[in-house]
Amino acid sequence: MLNLKIRSLASALAIAGSSAAMAVEWQALPGKAPEPADNPTTVAKAELGKMLYHDPRLSSTGTVSCASCHNVMSGGDDSRGGSVGVKGQVGGRSAPTVWNSAFNSVQFWDGRAPSLEAQAKGPVTNPGEMGMKSWDDVVVRLKAIPGYRQAFAAAFGGEDAINVDNAAKAIAAYERTLITPNSPYDKYVSGDKGALNEQQVRGMNTFAEVGCVSCHSGPAFNGPTLPEGTGFFMKFPTYENGALEAQYDFKKDVGRFEVTKQEADKDMYKVPTLRNIALTAPYFHNGKVMALNDAVMIMAKTQLNKDLTSQQTDDIVAFLNALTGEFPKQEMPRLPAYPNNTFAYE
């Protein structure tokens, strides 16, 4: 029921357009990500999560890790329209960025995971992604590696700390360290009026005036701050456009409907963050749009039924570039060895 109310609110905001936009409260990204009470972030836990995140041995073929589709050495995605899983399988959706994913109230394009912990469990056993038959098989592998036995014990305590829930908690804890504050936009709204140039300020105002903030509000530009598991969804496309549909095939995917099977969820998607959007092409759930300028024009037409001028589009793109934040340094982990052995990969 709460999701339905939020969808109704989002629709009302979109219809209200610029009048609702003028009430926008510009917010800087917090310097620390929220974390659940049952999984506080610790150094040992995040270090273990980093190892698991980068370890392809969590896949059936030993070739795919979380980092394969969510590359933290760049924009947190894989720059593909469809991510490549085990045995060369190509998925039907573009991988969303992992940077600032801790500020999403739900995960995946269709919001099927209520938390980062739940999200971490999904790809490992998805036959088209990492392809393990079960998490039990993953646990067997991890227990066979001495370094993981030590790392799990350090993170969670006890001699038998390796299990699916702790693995997911560790990965989620690492992902909560992946935040990018202090963008030019953040500095501007925090009082440094020289942080944005004239075009970026103009684009910021245009972003509000045309109604983009109807959906892309809040510190992460992904909607209002909501309790974890709630989700903020919008229909895409909201306004039918035959020419754009013929070119980009947006409606081939039915969005959240695939999860809930409820007619009201057809073509509904989680509103994605716009943080670091300049670095995460291609765009939209199917990765069919290559350039940010095109994405901005398409969003205006399909979501607001507005035709932007070239100047408006360029100004908004300039503003969106100001949402690129400071990336914390990433040092790749040394993965624990499995001495004198290997696993029977597919």
pTM for the model: 0.93
Of 100, 102, 79, 82, nearest in space to 90 by CA: 82
SS3 state of residue 289: strand
What is residue 159's predicted lDDT score, i.e. its pLDDT? Answer: 82
Report the pLDDT value the prediction gives residue 8, as an integer from 0 to 100.
41
pLDDT of residue 23: 65
How many C-beta neighbours within 10 Å does residue 25 have? 9
pLDDT in tens, 74-91: 999 999 999 999 999 999
What token pair was written down for 164?
């699916």
Structural contact between residues 283 and 295, judged by C-beta atoms closer than 8 angstroms: yes
Query: Exposed, middle or buried by CB within 10 Å (0-12, 13-18, 19+), for 56?
Result: middle
129 is catalytic: yes
Identify whether the C-beta of residue 136 lies closer than 8 Å to the C-beta of residue 65: no
Q: Is 6 helix (H, G, I), strand (E, B) or coil?
A: helix
CATH architecture of 2-30+181-321: Orthogonal Bundle (1.10)
Please give the residue that has the higher pLDDT: either 158 or 279. 279
**Confidence bin at 4 (pLDDT 50/70/90):** very low
Domains 2-30+181-321 and 43-175 are alike in CATH topology? yes
| CATH hierarchy code of domain 43-175 | 1.10.760.10
What are the boundaries of each domain within the chain?
A: 2-30+181-321, 43-175
The confidence score (pLDDT) of residue 158 equals 84
Cβ atoms 171, 124 nearer than 8 A: no
Question: With contact defined as beta carbons under 8 Å apart, do 345 and 61 qualify?
Answer: yes
- 32 vs 285: CA distance, rounded Å: 27
What share of the chain has pLDDT > 90, as a percent?
92
pLDDT grade, residue 46 (50/70/90)? very high
**For residue 44, what pLDDT is reported?**
98
Whether 169 contacts 39, CB under 8 Å = yes
Over the chain, what is the mean pLDDT?
A: 93
At residue 268, φ and ψ (nearest 5 deg) are -95, 140
Q: Whole-angstrom Cα distance, residue 192 to residue 190?
A: 6
Q: Please give the Cα distance from 169 to 167 (Å, whole number).
A: 5
55 pLDDT higher than 50: yes
Catalytic-role residue among 117, 129, 175, 228: 129
Cβ neighbours for 53, distance < 8 A, ≥ 6 positions apart: 65, 66, 67, 171, 174, 175
